[in-house]
Amino acid sequence: MRVAMLAPISWRVPPRHYGPWERVVSLLTEGLVERGVDVTLFATADSVTQAQLDAVCPRPLEEDASLDPKVWESLHIANAFEKAAHFDVVHNHYDFLPLTYTGLVATPVVTTIHGFSSDRIKPVYRRYADRVAYVSISDADRDPDLRYIATVYHGIDLAEFTPRERPGRGLVYFGRIHPDKGVAEAIAVAKAVDLPLVIAGIIHDRSYFEQEIAPQVDGDRVRYVGSVRPEERDELLGSALALLHLVEFAEPFGLSMIEAMACGTPVIARRRGSVPEVVDEGVTGFVVDDVAGAILAVGRVGSLDRRAVRARVAERFSRDRMVDDYLRVYEQVLSRSRIA
């Protein structure tokens, strides 16, 4: 099987620090190559992969302001679709724009929808619904007007995460600094239970950070450590009592939740979007409705078996399981193509 893997170019594959879509693409690509699949990765030129790398964009858009996003997006997507005839499947992780190329090629296209940035982009998905096989990353993130071939939960490389049986003493927030992600709420919970909090992630909303977060960062009880690299992520998540994921929006999946669980660290998350699908109540963490519920949950996380947390994420969210699921999707798509 020959697969064209179309990655975003906001960050490198795999990302040096932040870049959840790029991280998933990397994990899937490397897993497929290890299974003997012939994969060509369309990504930035500095990407690192065992697959064949095909790149026109020299560096990640988020790391080089001299690169015009529209120009390099156009060149990047066109490069993949101009070569589509050489592949059995094109797997698009680049959101809606590549869909507009699908009517120009005969190669089947699979598109993983990594969440909808807004309802305004959905007309594109609807227009090409008969041409593209859509994969959702959670059942909660499905649009009722679209047909899906499968839901495939993200998987992670468990070897990147060190299980720790003893809980840490502090709490952690790991994600973008944005009002949707509940950073201020995490601080409120930490202060209410008198525990230190470490905040890690890129600043996605500068005014929110400066007005709501920075004034509460004291370098002691509330620390902000920026966007961390994978090796730092393991220590940060593994040394925490719990991860706080008090999102204010419908979470499409929540990669940080399973990364924390892989270290044995339970998750306290707000009931939004995919959260009840990802967090096994009373096993890998607690699903709450508000800050008050999160405060109560902090007092209960010590009763959870961190070995069981790790075991459950290994069962449900491994890279191998994700690769298996996508191989089944490819086979389904190719079977349909042969019949057609």
The chain-wide mean pLDDT, for the chain, equals 96
Q: What is the DSSP letter of 45?
A: T
Domain boundaries of the chain, sorted by first residue:
2-155+318-339, 158-316
For residue 337, is pLDDT > 90? no
What is the pLDDT averaged over residues 286-308? 97
CATH for the stretch 158-316: 3.40.50.2000
Distance CA 102, CA 131 (A): 7
Q: How confident is the model at residue 339 (pLDDT cuts 50, 70, 90)?
A: low
For residues 43 and 13, give the distance between their C-alpha atoms in angstroms, rounded to a whole number.
7
- Kindly report which listed range (98-107, 194-203, 224-233) carries the lowest average pLDDT score: 224-233
Percentages helix, strand, coil for the chain, rounded to the nearest 5?
45, 20, 40
Mean pLDDT, residues 120-142 taken together: 97
Residue 203 confidence (pLDDT)? 96
pLDDT, tens digit, 9 for 90 and up, residues 174-199: 999 999 999 999 999 999 999 999 99
- The sign one gets for the Cα dihedral 154, 159, 161, 163 is positive
Answer yes or no: are the C-beta atoms of 249 and 140 closer than 8 Å: no
**Is residue 327 within a helix (H) or strand (E), and if so which, with residue range?**
helix 319-339
Instruction: Give me the pLDDT at residue 340, please.
Output: 56
The packing angle between helices 306-316 and 255-262, to 10°, is 130
Cα dihedral angle (16, 22, 28, 31), rounded to 10 degrees?
Answer: -20
> What is the rounded average pLDDT of the residues 328-332?
97
Question: Residue 223: what are its φ and ψ, rounded to 5°?
Answer: -120, 140
Query: Are 2-155+318-339 and 158-316 in the same CATH fold?
Result: yes
% of the chain residues with pLDDT over 90: 94
pLDDT value at position 115? 94
The CATH number of domain 2-155+318-339 is 3.60.21.10: no
Q: What is the pLDDT of residue 336?
A: 81
Taking residues 128-145, what's their average pLDDT?
Answer: 97
Instruction: For 260-324, give the DSSP string.
Output: HHHTT--EEEES-TTHHHHS-BTTTEEEESSHHHHHHHHTTGGGS-HHHHHHHHHHHSBHHHHHH
186, 174 contact by CB (below 8 A):
no
Give residue 182's pLDDT: 96
Give the per-residue pLDDT at 40. 98
Q: How confident is the model at residue 338 (pLDDT cuts 50, 70, 90)?
A: low
Q: What is the pLDDT of residue 86?
A: 97
Quote the pLDDT of residue 230.
Answer: 86
Q: Which two tokens stand for residue 196?
A: 């230190």
